[in-house]
Amino acid sequence: DLLKGGPSYYGLLLASIGGGAVLAALGLPKLKKILGPNKVVATGSAGTALVLVIFAMSSNQIAGLGASMLAGASWLAVLSSLNVSTQLALPEWVRARGLSMLLTVYFGAMAGGSVIWGNIAGQIGVPTTLLIAAGGAALAIPITWRWKIIADPSIDLTPSFHWPVPVMASEIEEDRGPVMVTVEYQIDPKNREAFQSAMENYGHTRRRDGAFSWGIFEDVSAPGRFLEYFLVDSWLEHERQHHRVTEADIEIEKQVMQYHLGETRPIARHLIAPTPPKSQ
């Protein structure tokens, strides 16, 4: 209605969006090399804001077609950057779930946003609504700038399989649990703060890979002796942890191990909740 066009013109608008997306796909690799993924997302957001302003303030059909092409290019630039970043940031065992969450949020926002903005437009008019949406898109750029997306293919998220196999006195049922794993470290007390800082980063990887509780304690009778613990739901879940540790995690582990004294690895113990006694 704002552009005073009919069904044929609407078809041209949709075709322009597709054309803009195709052109963006051709030039996006070079653009990412020049700007980097974070600036590409910011540029795409700014482009979307500009499109909304054009549709709100102009009734020129040629301008509408140009804005539609810019909308398609901006849409593809942002979605492609976020999609690639998600794939690079997630290891194989959780990548599919991460991508499904991204698409759920994306399409959920489209559906929910259509309802919300449609109701607002019914109250205050389409042009004003488009201008408000443009302001929100522009404002989102500085607000979200501190959160950087990951697009570094050099981060090696392949499984490392470097954890020693647990020593078991007998076969353990996979669904038994919970399981507590403890790791004993001996460090120089003067390195206490640096060690604890490194352990905090290590704790993030423990929780990421399935631990529902993690912590570290110091032995009051032996300064410098620390005991790390983490809990997982079952023995099967702990076995999965062995497959979830990545090559990139080895670097985090090295930051911890540099403070450990002794030529052998820290002592690791695996404890499991006892089986409830059978009722008489």
63 part of a folded domain: yes
pTM exceeds cut of 0.75: no
Q: Which two tokens stand for residue 142?
A: 């500085």
CATH number at residue 216: 3.30.70.100
- Which residue, 233, 177, 183, is CA-closest to 209? 233
Q: Which two tokens stand for residue 49?
A: 């804001």
The total number of structural domains in the chain stands at: 2
158 part of a folded domain: no
Regarding whether 88 and 11 lie in a shared domain, the answer is: yes
Regarding whether 214 and 114 lie in a shared domain, the answer is: no
Distance, CA of 280 to CA of 211 (rounded, Å): 35
Looking at 144, 169, 190, the residue that finishes a domain is 144
pLDDT higher than 70, residue 62: yes
Q: Which of 52-61, 80-89, 134-143, 150-159 is predicted most confidently? A: 134-143
Regarding whether 28 and 135 lie in a shared domain, the answer is: yes
Regarding whether 137 and 14 lie in a shared domain, the answer is: yes
pLDDT higher than 60, residue 159: yes
- Which residue, 70, 55, 50, 44, is CA-closest to 121? 55
Range of the domain at 247: 179-272
Cβ(266)–Cβ(195) below 8 Å: no
277 part of a folded domain: no
196 part of a folded domain: yes
